[in-house]
Structure 1
Amino acid sequence: MTKFARLKFDIDIVETLSEAQTAYDFFTASFDLFEDAVDILIQNVFRKDDYAVKYAVEPLLSSDGPLAHLPIRIKLLYGLGLLSQDSYKDIEKFIELKEFVQSEGESIAFLSSVLIERLHAISAVNKILPANLSENQLEESSHYIVQMKQEQNKQIVKSSLILAITEIIKELHRDTPLS
């Protein structure tokens, strides 16, 4: 991938995730981005013109094949050494987060203590996200100051997540010996 293509790719990730207004939308979009990135890597590694590879691998990767789901695909990439252990675990945690957020529905907020706690368990996010964020940390102040501080904290969480997701996806798009 050229330097320009990587920059455009990074911009696309940032734009896609920045558009999400709710945690629900954000984690759904991040899951889709991980699926796309993993699919591109799997395409580069397994979908060759060689007839034997194509014949053996195509059914495994089809929508009803055993490698159709993201959790299985990342295990395969990790097993082949194409994904670091930290990124593998982080993607697993993002998948769990998506499921958690979907179970909570649209009501889950970026600053909910349960979500912040889960975010700190993700290595790539924990390196970036300040440790003292929560919706309950605000002192008694005017309504407008509290609102501004909450919006600022929400943007810190979103920005930290965007940076972490971008770094993980960049790892998925690096050149590998198998591609």
Structure 2
Amino acid sequence: MTKFARLKFDIDIVETLSEAETPYDFFTASFDLFEDAVDILIQNVFRKDDYAVKYAVEPLLSRDGPLAHLPVRIKLLYGLGLLSQGSYQDIEKFIGLKEFVQSEGESIEFLSLALIERLNAIRAVAKILPPNLGDNQLEESSHYIVQMKLEQNRQVIKSSLILAITEIIKELHRDTPLS
């Protein structure tokens, strides 16, 4: 991938995730981005013109094949050494976050303590998020100042997530010895 193509890809990730207003929309979009990135890597590694590889691998990667689902695909990539342990674990946690947010529904907020606790368990996010972000105990201030501070914290969380996801997806798009 050329430098320009990588930059455009990064911009596409940021735009896609920035448009998501709710955690539900955000984590659904991030799951889709991970699926796309993993699919591109798997296609680069396994979908070659070689008839034998194509004949053996195509059925495994099809919609109803054993490698059709993201959790199985990332395990394969991790097992082949194409994905670091940290990124593998982070993607697994993002998958869990998507499931958590879906179970909570549209009512969950980015500032939810339950969500922030789960975010701090993700290595790529925890190293970016400022400490004590979940502490929304604000001194007595005007309503507008409190709202501004809450919005700032919401944006910090969302921006940290976007940066973390972009870094993980960049790892998935690096050149590998198998591609």
TM-score (norm 1): 0.99
- Per-residue deviation, residues 97-146 of structure 1 (Å, max 9, x unmatched): 00000000000000111100000000000010012112632222111111
Aligned to 1:44: 44
User: 1:61–1:68: 8 Å Cα contact kept in structure 2?
Assistant: yes
1:28 offset after TM fit, Å? 0.4
Query: Secondary structure at 1:176's aligned position in 2?
Result: coil
Aligned to 2:22: 22
- Per-residue deviation, residues 138-166 of structure 1 (Å, max 9, x unmatched): 22211111110000000000000000000
1:95 offset after TM fit, Å? 0.1
Instruction: In structure 1, give the amino acid aligned to 2:38.
Output: V
Q: Distance in 2 between matches of 1:22 and 1:135?
A: 20
- Per-residue deviation, residues 60-101 of structure 1 (Å, max 9, x unmatched): 000000000000000000000000000000000000000000
Unaligned runs of 5+ in 2: none
Structure 1 position 97 matched with structure 2 position 88? no
Q: Distance in 2 between matches of 1:52 and 1:10?
A: 35
Q: Distance in 1 between matches of 2:135 and 2:142?
A: 15
Consecutive aligned runs of 4 or more in structure 1 exceeding 3 Å deviation: none
Q: Distance in 1 between matches of 2:137 and 2:118?
A: 17
Aligned Cα RMSD in Å? Answer: 0.7
Aligned to 2:5: 5
Structure 1 position 122 matched with structure 2 position 122? yes
User: 2:136–2:150: 8 Å Cα contact kept in structure 1?
Assistant: no
User: 1:38–1:73: 8 Å Cα contact kept in structure 2?
Assistant: yes
Aligned to 1:170: 170
Q: Distance in 2 between matches of 1:105 and 1:132?
A: 25
User: 1:111–1:135: 8 Å Cα contact kept in structure 2?
Assistant: no
Aligned to 1:76: 76
Q: In the comparison of the two structures, how many residue pairs are matched?
A: 179
Aligned to 2:153: 153
User: 1:128–1:160: 8 Å Cα contact kept in structure 2?
Assistant: yes
